[in-house]
Amino acid sequence: MFFRQLENFVSQYRRLIVVLIAVFIIQIFESILLRFKYDLFTGGFLQPFSYKTISERLTFILFSLWFDLTLVGLLASIWFFVADRLNKYGQFIYYNFAALVVLMAGVWLAFKFKVLSYFSDTVNLQIVKNLGGGSLKEALLYVSNELVLFFGLIGITTVFLVFFISFLNKSAFVRRLETNTIKHKTYMGLLLFALVLTPVITLFVSNNDFLRYGLEKKTSYRLISSGLDRLSDFDFDGFGSFSYPKDKAIFNASNNPGAIDIPGNGIDEDGFLGDAVLTADANDTLAEITPQSGKHIVLIVLESARADLLDQKLNGYYVAPVLREIARTGSSIKYAYSHTGYTTTSIKAIFNRTLVKNNKKTSLIKFLQAAGYQVSIISGQDESFGDVASETGMKNKDVSYFDARTALDDRVFPSKEQGSLRLSEERVVKQFQTRINQADFSKPQFFYLNFQAAHFPYSHPKMTKRIFNNLIPRSDINEENKNWVAATYWNAIANADWAAGKVIESLKERNQLDNTTIVILGDHGESLFDDGFLGHGHAINDIQTKIPLIINDPAITVDEPIGQVDVAELAIRSALGKNNKWVNKDKTVFQWVGSLSQPALIAQVTQHGIRTIFDFRSEQFFFSDLKSWKSYKDALSDPVFKDRVIDLIHKWETLRWREYGAEKY
């Protein structure tokens, strides 16, 4: 009796059941990959959101199932419609659908997650640096867990399908389905219900940063939201109402999230503050200095260096004694900031002294070469990544150039991809010592050095254990081990500090230290789970954007925030013995997350580190001095905040115009 009822039930709802089977297999496969490739359920490097509690995970899974069921159900309805027209009702109609959908999903996910591309630039899709080992053998061992996972899932799925086919071929019940022509009204009713409700759910998710972050990594959500977005793009400007960012003027093609607000045309293209008003450029005070010879200059950029490194101790020892001594006898700038959390934009800001391409400011290398300096580039990363070398003048005529691509055989990871190349601190120091022996110190010299020690995963197979012996493996990096992560990171900083010390020793040996201006700074900060994040570039706060800025010159007065665009002038003024007082109380440092054209966040830092942040996702402002969030409308209407709101938006619109608009209009 039970089996007869079960048979009737399966017969009645077989179309729904086959959809559920396909979704179940896809859900398991995709969820495991989301866990291992995005650290979605544990948190990881460059991870702004994660689902750690039971309720968060359950909520994510339920929404995930909804979009998978809707998409697969829609595909199934098309498949079954064709089968019905052909009077086909047999087992292979159902098996072929399930097998085809699972196969297509598997192939797509394998391609999407680049499961076999471990020698490109990612293991985690959000990580820019390669996380393999120092050799082919070590790299294979490093990724072996994920390779086993992938092939294991493929194997399990294959075995399941083989047994499933065998069962179908032997089942008398299945053979009876050949002539069963049930109308499947329940299936069609559920499908119509899902199609009606899905736009509402999609709109809700698109307005929720927390849910959207994870679901955007789901194929079903991306396809559905993109399709609905296109359908709602009534003015055909490329933006609708179901994706992010949204079109706030759905019937006005000139107003959309990607539009440049053209100043002076009376139209508010970007939807903020009416027509754009350009802010005036400050005078280029470096251009007022006649290029001339001065002290030698050594500019050292430390990857992912936090501003608190000078005071940090591990096992009773300061992690950066060399930098502490330079700061003690020279200057340490208290309020120094990166403009972004990204290496390429930071290096460009330092060398080009600007945040946009279209500018008339004198670049660092251009000034130095005009002043007769011999320029040497010695970098532990590939400076062609992001076109840094070409856009900053690092490969100008007569520049001595060395970076990670120059010494491929010495890379610490196996990948040759641009974003993955990295040299050890020992190799960069060795190259500096070689170059310094070649330099003619009767002429002024400029050396740029880049040390990559503190980049995620904060170690490499050959890294020296200077102050900590048990470096954390990549597979164990998570929030539960945040103290272990931090200790490994500070050991990396100790390696960078050691390298800076070797540079100073080399200058001393040639009696050039007293005639050299040394500037050391970070490209950006680094969160070590202390603010709920790991990495950089996804939040605007002091941990991720405040940087060390140390110079061996005590005659510097700084009462204003210093951005990376100011560092070149600071160094040149020191080398030339010029007045180096920075006391403009109205000075600001502009920051952003995302792209300048479509940022997630923008901010300005003013005197004493006071920051105003605008979140485009929620259209809210944060005022750090009051620790208060206010909506865009409320902040704009409040006389206490109005000027800060207007100034920040106008600065952003001005930068956008100079970057993208001035060359188009």
126 part of a folded domain: yes
Query: pLDDT value at position 115?
Result: 42
Pick from 184, 170, 252, 257: nearest CA to 12: 184
593 part of a folded domain: no
559 part of a folded domain: yes
Distance of CA 495 to the CA centre of its chain: 25
Query: pLDDT value at position 283?
Result: 84
Any idea what the CATH number is for the domain that residue 576 is in?
3.40.720.10
The range of the structural domain enclosing residue 358 comes to 296-584
- Are 301 and 450 in contact by the 8 Å Cβ rule? The answer is yes
Query: pLDDT value at position 143?
Result: 44
Pick from 405, 422, 404: nearest CA to 413: 422
Query: pLDDT value at position 73?
Result: 82
Pick from 383, 342, 385, 343: nearest CA to 365: 383
Query: pLDDT value at position 48?
Result: 65
Residues 197, 300, single domain; the answer is: no
Residues 184, 305, single domain; the answer is: no
What is the total count of domains within the chain? 2
Residues 303, 190, single domain; the answer is: no
Pick from 184, 158, 173: nearest CA to 81: 184
251 part of a folded domain: no
Residues 307, 451, single domain; the answer is: yes
Residues 194, 48, single domain; the answer is: yes
- Among 201, 221, 249, identify where a domain stops: 201
546 part of a folded domain: yes
Residues 557, 409, single domain; the answer is: yes
Report H helices in 371-469.
Answer: 388-392, 425-438
- Among 181, 201, 221, identify where a domain stops: 201
Alpha-carbon distance of 59 to 53, in angstroms, equals 10
Residues 407, 514, single domain; the answer is: yes
Query: pLDDT value at position 421?
Result: 87
Residues 380, 512, single domain; the answer is: yes
Pick from 551, 555, 544, 554: nearest CA to 566: 551
534 part of a folded domain: yes
Query: pLDDT value at position 332?
Result: 97
230 part of a folded domain: no
* Contacts of 85-89 spanning 24+ positions with Cβ under 8 A: 89/177, 89/178, 89/179, 89/180, 89/181
Residues 415, 532, single domain; the answer is: yes
Residues 37, 183, single domain; the answer is: yes
Q: Dihedral of the CA atoms 530, 531, 532, 536 (nearest 10)? A: -100
Query: pLDDT value at position 157?
Result: 61
Query: pLDDT value at position 92?
Result: 58
Residues 456, 337, single domain; the answer is: yes
Residues in the chain, pLDDT under 70: 1-14, 36-37, 43-48, 83-96, 99, 107, 110-187, 358-359, 663-665
Residues 196, 300, single domain; the answer is: no
553 part of a folded domain: yes
- Among 555, 584, 613, identify where a domain stops: 584
Give the per-residue SS3 of 348-386: HHHHHCCCCCCCCCCCHHHHHHHCCCEEEEEECECCCHH
Q: Which two tokens stand for residue 256?
A: 């959309």
**H or E, element range at 16:** helix 14-38
Alpha-carbon distance of 222 to 211, in angstroms, equals 13
